[in-house]
Amino acid sequence: MSQSSDTQKATASAWFEDLRDQICAAFEALEDELSADIAATLPIADELRDMPPGRFQRKAWTRVEGDPAAGGGGVMSIMRGRLFEKVGVNVSTVWGEFPKDFAGQIQGAESDPRFWASGVSLVAHMRSPLVPAVHMNTRHIVTTKSWFGGGTDLTPMVPDETDTRTFHRALEAACDKHDPEYYARFKAWCDEYFFLKHRNEPRGVGGIFYDQLNTGSWDADFAFTRDVGLAFLDAYLPVVRRHMAEPWTPEQRQHQLVRRGRYVEFNLLYDRGTSFGLKTGGNVEAILMSLPPEVAWP
C-alpha cells in the first residue's frame, strides 16, 4: 500500500510520544546523576549549584482553530537544568493542505496538497562545553504517498574520537539490524545534509539522516524508525556520562558559545524543517526551541 491506514498513523503517533517519554525520563535521570557534589566542582553560577535537578515542563499547542487546512498540534517539553542548559523535545501530529507553492516540492503532493505528519524532534544544548550538543528527529509523513524519515547527529565543541566512535557504533548497530547498506548510506546523507556551505565546514561529527524511506513494508520501515529512536539513547547517554563531571575553562565556554553560532546559522539558513515550519505558519516557539540559550558572534 502506498498510503498509511488510520491505524498505522495512530500507531506511529503513539510511538513518537512514547519515545519522547523515554528520552525525557533518561535525561531527567542524567540531571539526577549530576549530584550537588559534582556540581560543586564545576565552573557554573552559584544559583545553579543550589538548584534541584532539572525537570521537563510541558506545553501543548494547537494549529489555527477552525481552519480545515490546518489541524492538529503538539506538545513541547523543555528542561533547563544543571547539566542540560536547554533541551527541547517536541512531538507534533498535524494535518491539512500544503500551500500551493510548497505542494509541488513535496513527494506525492503535486496533484493533491493534503498531508498528515507526525514526529518527535529534539535538540539539547549542554552547559558544559565538553559535553556535545545533539539533535534527533523521527517522523512519518503521509501525502498520496507515505514515508518515514529521521536521524540524529552529534555536535561536539571539542571533537573527541572516543565519543564519535561511541555515537556512530550505536547507530551502526541499529542500522545493521535492518539493512547492511543503511548505515553507510544514511551516514553519508547526514554528512551532506548537516554541512554549512558558506563556511565549507560540517556542523559536527555527523550521525545518520534518512528521508522518504518507503521500502514497500510499512512494518519494516516503522521498526527501523523505532530502532533509530532507541539507538539515540545508546549513542548519546554514554557520551554525556563520560564528560559531565569534567570541569572546564572560561576559554572553553567561550569557544562553545561561538560554535553555537554555527548551529544557529545552520538552522536558520539551511534546515528544511525550520524554514518549512516558519513559512507555513508552524508554531514558532516549538520550531525555534532548537536555538541555543546563549550564543556569541564575537
Nearer to a second copy, 236 or 266 (CB): 266
DSSP 8-state class, residue 194: S
Taking CB under 8 A as the rule, does residue 59 contact a second copy?
A: no
Nearer to a second copy, 194 or 222 (CB): 194
CA dist 255 and 138 (Å) reads 30
Q: Which three cell numbers stand for residue 4?
A: 498509511
Amino acid at 74: G
Q: What CA–CA distances, in Å, run from 22 to 15, 16, 18? A: 10, 10, 6
Taking CB under 8 A as the rule, does residue 265 contact a second copy?
A: yes
Q: Does the annotation mark 125 as catalytic? A: no
- The minimum distance between CB 257 and a second copy, in angstroms, equals 8
Binding mask 148-187 for a second copy (x = CB under 8 A): ----------------------------------------
91: which strand partners? 75, 120
Nearer to a second copy, 4 or 155 (CB): 155
Nearer to a second copy, 245 or 288 (CB): 288
Taking CB under 8 A as the rule, does residue 292 contact a second copy?
A: yes
Taking CB under 8 A as the rule, does residue 296 contact a second copy?
A: yes
- The minimum distance between CB 140 and a second copy, in angstroms, equals 25
- Total residues at the site for a second copy (CB under 8 A)? 24
- The minimum distance between CB 271 and a second copy, in angstroms, equals 11
Catalytic residue among 135, 140, 168, 243: 135
DSSP 8-state class, residue 53: P
Taking CB under 8 A as the rule, does residue 272 contact a second copy?
A: no
Amino acid at 179: D
Taking CB under 8 A as the rule, does residue 295 contact a second copy?
A: yes
- H or E segment at 45? none
CA dist 213 and 43 (Å) reads 44
* Beta-sheet strand order (sheet of 57-62): 57-62, 70-79, 84-97, 114-126, 133-142, 146-155, 207-213
**Is there a contact between 186 and 208 (Cβ–Cβ < 8 Å)?**
yes
CA dist 189 and 33 (Å) reads 35
CA dist 35 and 32 (Å) reads 6
Quick one: which of 1, 7, 180, 198 contacts a second copy (CB under 8 A)? 198
Taking CB under 8 A as the rule, does residue 250 contact a second copy?
A: no
Nearer to a second copy, 100 or 197 (CB): 197
Annotate 232-259 with b (16+ C-beta within 10 A) or e (fewer). Answer: bbbbbbebbeebbbeebeeebbebbbeb
CA dist 174 and 228 (Å) reads 6
- The minimum distance between CB 34 and a second copy, in angstroms, equals 20
Amino acid at 284: V
Binding mask 69-88 for a second copy (x = CB under 8 A): -----------x-----x--
Nearer to a second copy, 173 or 196 (CB): 196
Taking CB under 8 A as the rule, does residue 202 contact a second copy?
A: no
The 3-state DSSP class for residue 190 equals helix
Catalytic residues: 135
In the complex, the residues that contact a second copy under the rule CB under 8 A are: 80, 86, 197-199, 257, 261, 264-265, 268-269, 275, 278-279, 284, 288, 291-298
